[in-house]
């Protein structure tokens, strides 16, 4: 059976974790500090611009807190995104304002964002959906803090800039299914010192002068060591993912199938996912066909999961998301497929459909 996703882990991670365990220090410490430093360096920032956290969701919550988002503040986000983003907004006691997406890249519609901004808008959360980046430069000067959700977009580029380096603050995830993983984990990245100070203050609650609610969203050194190892492989992993995408693009061309792609050709994706777009009847048939040949695919976000449906809002304002949810299929896309030759098998099976 070929699974839809799989982390790329080997002896390097085993050795890194073993070293931490044998050192006797497994909590948040030097390894996490080094991971934060390496992360900044990879993205071209000074070494003190990142704070490692326990998950991407925790990172989104902390980014909202760093900005100062609180009760009754409005936060704009797309309806087409995992509910983790909505959870972070509610945790911060803010009010989510949902927006529809573009049907080419599945990213937030800037035109609609502009219409929804008002005095209560305190932040925008902009995900780079499935690693396909959106040009943040276009709304950078909107006057409201921008949180780039890079949970799926590490290594994606907007011109010469990495995704996550343009907005005011950005959040990455190292969950098991993401491009690099620490099991669970996340990173918050920002060049604003006042944000970094607030993040660190929130996470550090022992021996304080005065009390206010803080919380433990720390990463452990076991995860930190794993992260250092994974980050060291990132360029290799991105190359392998590109090879997979090239294979899928050529079969799509043969078949006349459309797929999710960036809005402009200056945007470079990390190929976190390869998502086919077609009528729902073909999508369902293709999914069953691949299933019967032991190749697992997923509908990346189903209609019922769209945030406006979870919240019981009128779906007519979210036409594109409704349509995309019913006309997309995500194919297996992880580096090991090129190493073990499974990608050729999948392409052959697709050719026979």
Ligand X SMILES: *Cc1c(COP(=O)(O)O)cnc(C)c1O
- Contacts to ligand X by CB under 6 A: 55-57, 81-82, 84-85, 127, 149, 151-152, 173, 175, 186
List the 157-158 sheet strands across, edge first: 161-162, 157-158, 267-268
Contact 242, 33 (CB under 8 A): no
Q: Residue 351 Cβ, how far from ligand X at the closest point, in Å?
A: 31
DSSP-assigned letters across all residues of 140-199:
GGGSS-EEEE-TT-TT-EETTEETTSSSSEEEEE--TTSSS--SS-EEEE-S-HHHHHHH
Which lies closer to ligand X via its Cβ, residue 219 or residue 350?
219
Which lies closer to ligand X via its Cβ, residue 152 or residue 278?
152
Q: Residue 209 Cβ, how far from ligand X at the closest point, in Å?
A: 31
Q: Residue 186 Cβ, how far from ligand X at the closest point, in Å?
A: 5
- Give the closest residue to 272 by CA, choosing from 352, 163, 350: 163
Contact 127, 81 (CB under 8 A): yes
Which lies closer to ligand X via its Cβ, residue 51 or residue 82?
82
Nearest residue to the partner ligand X, using Cβ: 56
Contact 241, 269 (CB under 8 A): no
Q: Residue 335 Cβ, how far from ligand X at the closest point, in Å?
A: 18
Q: Residue 196 Cβ, how far from ligand X at the closest point, in Å?
A: 20
- Alpha helices by DSSP H, listed for 256-341, are 280-292, 307-310, 319-326, 336-339
Q: Residue 149 Cβ, how far from ligand X at the closest point, in Å?
A: 5
Which lies closer to ligand X via its Cβ, residue 238 or residue 346?
238
Which lies closer to ligand X via its Cβ, residue 267 or residue 343?
267
d(CA 270, CA 209): 44
d(CA 187, CA 174): 8
Which lies closer to ligand X via its Cβ, residue 185 or residue 335?
185
Q: Residue 171 Cβ, how far from ligand X at the closest point, in Å?
A: 7
Which uninterrupted H or E stretch holds 246?
helix 234-255
Q: Residue 164 Cβ, how far from ligand X at the closest point, in Å?
A: 12
Which lies closer to ligand X via its Cβ, residue 84 or residue 139?
84
- Give the closest residue to 28 by CA, choosing from 315, 226, 310, 221: 221
d(CA 155, CA 163): 7
Q: Residue 292 Cβ, how far from ligand X at the closest point, in Å?
A: 29
d(CA 318, CA 312): 12
Which whole-number Å values give the CA distances from 49 to 30, 35, 192, in the listed order? 16, 12, 8
Which lies closer to ligand X via its Cβ, residue 79 or residue 278?
79
176 exposed, middle or buried (CB, 10 Å; 0-12, 13-18, 19+)? middle
d(CA 331, CA 348): 14
Which lies closer to ligand X via its Cβ, residue 82 or residue 333?
82
């Amino acid at each position: 059976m070929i699974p839809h996703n799989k982390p790329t882990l080997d002896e390097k991670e085993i050795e890194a974790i073993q070293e931490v365990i044998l050192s006797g220090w497994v909590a948040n410490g030097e390894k996490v500090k080094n991971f934060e430093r390496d992360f900044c360096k990879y993205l071209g920032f000074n070494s003190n611009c990142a704070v490692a956290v326990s998950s991407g969701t925790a990172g989104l919550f902390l980014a909202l807190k760093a900005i100062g988002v609180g009760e009754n503040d409005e936060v704009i986000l797309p309806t087409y995104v995992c509910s983790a983003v909505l959870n972070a907004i509610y945790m911060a006691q803010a009010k989510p304002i949902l927006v529809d997406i573009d049907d080419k890249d599945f990213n937030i519609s800037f035109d609609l964002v502009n219409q929804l901004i008002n005095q209560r808008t305190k932040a925008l959360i902009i995900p780079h959906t499935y690693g396909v980046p959106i040009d943040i430069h276009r709304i950078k000067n909107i006057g409201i803090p921008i949180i780039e959700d890079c949970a799926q977009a590490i290594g994606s580029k907007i011109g010469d800039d990495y995704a996550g380096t343009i907005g005011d603050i950005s959040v990455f995830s190292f969950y098991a299914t993401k491009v690099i993983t620490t099991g669970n984990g996340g990173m918050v990245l920002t060049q604003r010192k006042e944000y970094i100070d607030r993040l660190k203050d929130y996470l550090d609650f022992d021996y304080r002068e005065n009390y206010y609610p803080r919380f433990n969203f720390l990463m452990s050194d076991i995860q930190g060591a794993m992260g250092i190892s994974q980050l060291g492989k990132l360029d290799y992993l991105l190359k392998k993912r590109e090879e997979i995408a090239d294979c899928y693009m050529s079969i799509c061309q043969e078949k006349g199938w459309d797929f999710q792609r960036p809005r402009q050709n200056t945007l470079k994706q990390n190929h976190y996912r390869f998502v086919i777009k077609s009528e729902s009847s073909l999508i369902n048939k293709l999914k069953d066909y691949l299933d019967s040949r032991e190749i697992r695919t997923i509908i990346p976000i189903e209609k019922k999961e769209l945030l406006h449906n979870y919240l019981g809002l009128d779906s007519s304002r979210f036409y594109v998301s409704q349509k995309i949810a019913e006309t997309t299929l995500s194919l297996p896309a992880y580096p090991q497929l090129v190493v073990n030759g499974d990608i050729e098998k999948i392409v052959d099976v697709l050719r026979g459909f």
